[in-house]
Amino acid sequence: MNNFYIVTNDLKDRDFEITAQITDYLKRHGKAVTNDPLLIDCVLVLGGDGTLLRASVELAHLGVPFLGINLGNLGFLAEVDKDNIESALTKLIQGEYTTEKRMMLDGISNKAQQNSAQQNSAQQNSAQQNSAQQNSALNDVVIIGNESMQLIYFDLFVNGLKLTNYVADGIVISTPTGSTGYNLSAGGPIVEPRADVILVTPLSAHSMRSRSIILSSDDEIEVLITKGKNGEEQTALAVFDGHNRIVLKTFDRVKITKSAKSTSIIKLSKLNFFEILKQKL
């Protein structure tokens, strides 16, 4: 690797002191720090897991691996501690690393499709721009009420067939990478990150159907927001990796599938996933 791109969370490296330290180290070892997407061999992400999640989605099109440098507290994805940066960079430069391919999810709302029969051509184009939204996630897609402590009513479909309906705080649709995130907090299972599955975990469901469901990565998942308790209209949010959001209303649907994109995470440690899990938890 010769050309590196650095993404810095400026809330955790306020004076860019660590960024400058890394840049200087790389240059002293004959490497370059570049913004040219055609030259980048690796993305170094300084911050925490949240920073790495955002960077992986925004830069997935580059097709290069990511190394996370943890400047926060708990990090499953950001492997390198700030006290071990130079030794980690040495390993990286010398090729003493492996990469793990992590699956991602795509989610798209179909609100524009619902409204198309009711609008003229110009209105359809406007609705397509304003309503049909698509985002990707490395960790999870979480569908929750738009207001705090708000129950939402929704149906869950798998491959076009209705599986069940829920009255719940929401639902988490997670990749194996995201299994140690919100999914775990909601009582969902921990899955080895290289597994090729999708996890579906309801949030505080008001029914006996509160268990997680593990699906094939080839399955197509759809969540339909239905009417509320007394037939009232509902508003919900589809949140991608904790930051990108799609606003949903009654009868809106979100379709979630395995993405054609993926993220490659650089691993410098020889510890396996379960050894790292034991350390973190």
Say what the pLDDT of residue 208 is: 65
Interatomic CA distance for residues 156 and 150, integer angstroms: 18
Mean pLDDT computed over 14-19: 94
Is the pLDDT at 229 greater than 90? The verdict is no
Read off the pLDDT of residues 36-61 as tens digits, 9 standing for 90 and up: 988 999 999 999 999 999 999 999 99
Whether this model's pTM surpasses 0.85: yes
| Side-chain half-sphere exposure of 127, counting CA atoms within 13 A | 16
| Per-position DSSP letters for 170-213, written without gaps between them | EEEEE-SGGGGTHHHHTTPPP--TT--EEEEEEES-SSS--S-E
151 vs 279, more confident: 151
- Among 71-80, 212-221, 262-271, the minimum mean pLDDT is found in 71-80
User: CA-CA distance, 83 to 26, in Å (whole number)?
Assistant: 17
Q: Are 84 and 40 in contact (CB under 8 A)?
A: no
Segment 98-122 shows an average pLDDT of 72
Which residue, 195, 177, 173, is CA-closest to 186? 173
Full DSSP string of 50-107: HHHHHHHHHTGGG---EEEEE-SS--SS--EEGGGHHHHHHHHHTT--EEEEEEEEEE
Rg (CA), the chain: 21
Cα separation, 240 vs 221, in Å, equals 15
Residue 261 has pLDDT above 70, yes or no: yes
Please give the helix or strand (H or E) that residue 42 lies within, else none. Answer: strand 42-47
Query: Looking at the predicted structure, is the pLDDT value of residue 199 above 90?
Result: yes
Catalytic residue set: 49
Between 280 and 131, the higher pLDDT residue: 280
